[in-house]
Amino acid sequence: MTLGTIDRSPPPFFKQGPSALSKLLFFSALSLFLMVADTRFGVTQPVRAALATALYPVQWLALQPVQAIKSASDYLTSLNQAESNSAAASRKLALQSLRAGQVEQLTLENNRLRKLLGLREQLATPVMTAEVLYDAADPYTRKVIIDKGQLQGVDLASPVLDESGVLGQVTRVHPLVSEVTLVIDRDLAIPVLNVRTGVRSVAFGDPSSSGSGMELRFMDSNSDVQPGDLLTTSGVDGVYPAGMPVARIVRIERHAESTFARIYCTPLALVTGARHVIVVKPVSGQIPQRPSADAVPAGAKKEATK
């Protein structure tokens, strides 16, 4: 047999499929398509919900050793720390008892004034308790997972609080668990009210490298703000009830070349170690709907068109 007649093609056993470059291009295009489809249309939301429901037992089992260690750590708390907590609780209880009488008197006067002026009664917002299971796996966001979901009545956009103030907002709801975006996340914004001055503004998560604070944006350089000012929810967004503590101003930077001041705040809630939280129903579910155009009287329509 001559050399020219030898078959130089590899045996079928060694034949390869598509090249590595073709696979890279295909899967890159597929990934880009899925990301765009998920961002625009939310096509993977049912898949996320199904996977979250299916993996919940596995997550629960994986968390049992951690819960056991936490329970043992709590049980072995030193006597000095327990006495210190008891003394602090006694002082706080005495202070709250002193304020309770003032609050009752102010509430009575407020109700009388509201009846006198014919104002609407304040909304009674339903709440439920929940427990933080773990932090979200995404390193570019500040989110936690709680053990309440759609089956327990959690609504999307529900405010979440701890014992000190606003912790965040429910941004994704699954059947058994929910995802809470913390107030220090750069994509979360909360309408707030300066208790000292009564000025409304918007607080955002701090986008700096630390990412553990908040920033009060769109405030003029000559605005009346001071370190130590308390910020509470303004209640104008239809999500957060008014008067819930959010943050306290710690630092203000004013520059001549800038129209706005840089105002840094510290959240009052325990954003890095909260364990037990309260989920509040959004206020928008209790506010009466805006009347339609057909329900507006004809006289009102004429006055509006003038």
Domain edge (last residue) among 50, 76, 102: 76
The more confident residue out of 160 and 70 is 160
Instruction: Indicate if 163 and 224 belong to the same structural domain.
Output: yes
Q: Is residue 86 part of a domain?
A: yes
114 and 128 assigned to the same domain: no
302 occurs within a structural domain: no
* pLDDT attached to residue 52: 86
On the question of pLDDT at 64 being above 50, the answer is: yes
pLDDT digits (tens, 9 = 90+) for 112-133: 777 766 655 555 678 899 999 9
Characterise 243 by phi-psi region: left (phi > 0), alpha (psi -120 to 50), beta (else). Answer: left
What range defines the domain where residue 88 resides? 82-122
pTM for the full predicted model? 0.61
pLDDT, position 156: 92
Residues 211 and 185 in one domain: yes
> How far apart are alpha carbons 71 and 82 in whole angstroms?
15
Q: What local confidence, expressed as pLDDT, does residue 304 receive?
A: 47
Which range scores top for mean pLDDT: 90-94, 188-192, 301-305?
A: 188-192
* 123-150 average pLDDT score: 86
Which pLDDT does position 21 carry in this prediction? Answer: 83
From first CA to last CA, the distance across the chain in angstroms is: 104
- Number of domains the chain is built from: 3
Looking at residues 52-62, what average pLDDT do you find?
88
Contacts of 61 (CB under 8 A, 6+ apart): none
Are both 128 and 231 inside the same structural domain? yes
148-165 mean pLDDT: 91
In a domain, 143, yes or no: yes
14 falls within a domain? no
Neighbouring-strand partners of residue 193: 200, 232
Radius of gyration of the chain (CA): 28
Average pLDDT over residues 233-259: 88
pLDDT above 90: percentage of residues in the chain: 29
Contacts of 177 (CB under 8 A, 6+ apart): 52, 56, 133, 145, 146, 147, 148, 149
Six-digit token string for 178: 């929910």
Please check whether residue 162 lies inside any domain of the structure: yes
> Do 228 and 103 share a structural domain?
no
Residue scoring higher pLDDT (67 or 288): 67
In a domain, 298, yes or no: no
